[in-house]
């Protein structure tokens, strides 16, 4: 169905470039999004999703792809777009409502001045991200409950997930990242990241090609020296020197081997036992190549 160029499309795709390059880009993003949705069991038929829209390239890509899948009957859930206006000075408050109305996308615009709280609570010179995201997430959970949604859907992509992994590794002393599917602490809402397999570069190309009205984040984006920016620069350097490195690292996150790590809480090292003499099987002389991975 996705290869049928004459099939109907959602208004979010109206005016899309007709170039072969863009068609390949769109199909790749849709395919990778479907793969993540299916692999992590995100679909609950007949449920309602709160699709969070910041106005950035990633959330526009998320919104378009989910509506395209729904339009084609491949995503049997109801979608409600939501923008949380956090009261940042200069935020163009009319851009998203006008865009969503024009595209015929069901939506809710919520105003909560979390900006003032962040500026009041975060000391000068410290980054705003942690408190800002915590306040934003709390409001999105509240809105999801008010709207009868089963899931909060976010636009984090593959590169966001990789960067978070290295942030936790370098600064948190743990192997963890943002999973594609998460159950909140209260246990009543899922958090989904359907773009988990999609690269940031593809989101950028897609949103720019579609000429969506992108709104920059001037709150955190204006701060220099953020740890995440440093990690991003490191990954950019690795990718430049060895193209495809990001994809290989992401695949490693899907191929964890607890027995080859050092955490006794997830693997019973103390309970390992040697075989008694004479119990070795016929593979006893075959080297275990996994030890070299």
The reply, when asked if residue 132 is annotated as ligand binding, is yes
The reply, when asked if residue 203 is annotated as ligand binding, is no
In order of 34, 82, 186, 260, the CA distances from 53 in angstroms are 19, 6, 23, 40
Positive or negative: CA dihedral 214, 220, 225, 229: negative
The reply, when asked if residue 129 is annotated as ligand binding, is yes
Among the listed residues 138, 159, 140, the one whose alpha carbon sits nearest the alpha carbon of residue 54? 140
Among the listed residues 97, 177, 110, the one whose alpha carbon sits nearest the alpha carbon of residue 147? 110
Q: Say what the alpha-carbon torsion angle 34, 209, 91, 87 is, to the nearest 10 degrees.
A: 10
How far apart CA 54 and CA 72 sit, in angstroms, is 25
Among the listed residues 220, 239, 240, 226, the one whose alpha carbon sits nearest the alpha carbon of residue 159? 239
Token reading at 82 = 């939501």
Helix (H, G, I), strand (E, B) or coil at 7: coil
Residues in binding site: 129, 132, 220
Point out the annotated binding site for [4Fe-4S] cluster: 129, 132, 220
């Amino acid at each position: 169905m996705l290869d049928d160029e004459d099939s109907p499309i959602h208004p979010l795709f109206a005016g899309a470039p007709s170039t072969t390059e863009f068609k390949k880009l769109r199909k790749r993003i849709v395919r990778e999004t479907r793969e993540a949705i299916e692999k992590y069991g995100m679909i609950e038929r007949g449920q309602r999703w709160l699709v969070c829209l910041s106005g950035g390239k990633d959330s526009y890509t998320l919104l378009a792809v989910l509506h395209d899948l729904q339009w084609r009957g491949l995503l049997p859930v109801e979608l409600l777009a939501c923008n949380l206006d956090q009261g940042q000075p200069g935020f163009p408050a009319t851009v998203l409502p006008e865009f969503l109305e024009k595209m015929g996308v069901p939506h809710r615009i919520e105003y909560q001045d979390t900006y003032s709280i962040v500026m009041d609570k975060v000391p000068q010179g410290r980054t705003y991200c942690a408190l800002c995201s915590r306040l934003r997430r709390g409001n999105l959970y509240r809105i999801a409950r008010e709207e009868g949604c089963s899931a909060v859907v976010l636009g984090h992509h593959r590169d966001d997930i990789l960067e978070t992994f290295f942030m936790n590794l370098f600064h948190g002393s743990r192997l963890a990242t943002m999973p594609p599917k998460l159950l909140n602490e209260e246990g009543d809402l899922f958090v989904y990241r359907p773009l988990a397999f999609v690269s940031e570069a593809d989101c950028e190309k897609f949103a720019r090609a579609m000429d969506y009205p992108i709104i920059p984040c001037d709150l955190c984006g204006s701060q220099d020296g953020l740890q995440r920016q440093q990690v991003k620069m490191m990954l950019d350097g690795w990718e430049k020197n060895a193209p495809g490195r990001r994809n290989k690292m992401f695949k490693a996150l899907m191929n964890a081997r607890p027995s080859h790590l050092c955490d006794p809480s997830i693997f019973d090292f103390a309970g390992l036992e040697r075989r008694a003499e004479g119990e070795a099987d016929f593979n006893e002389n075959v080297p275990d190549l996994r030890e070299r991975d």
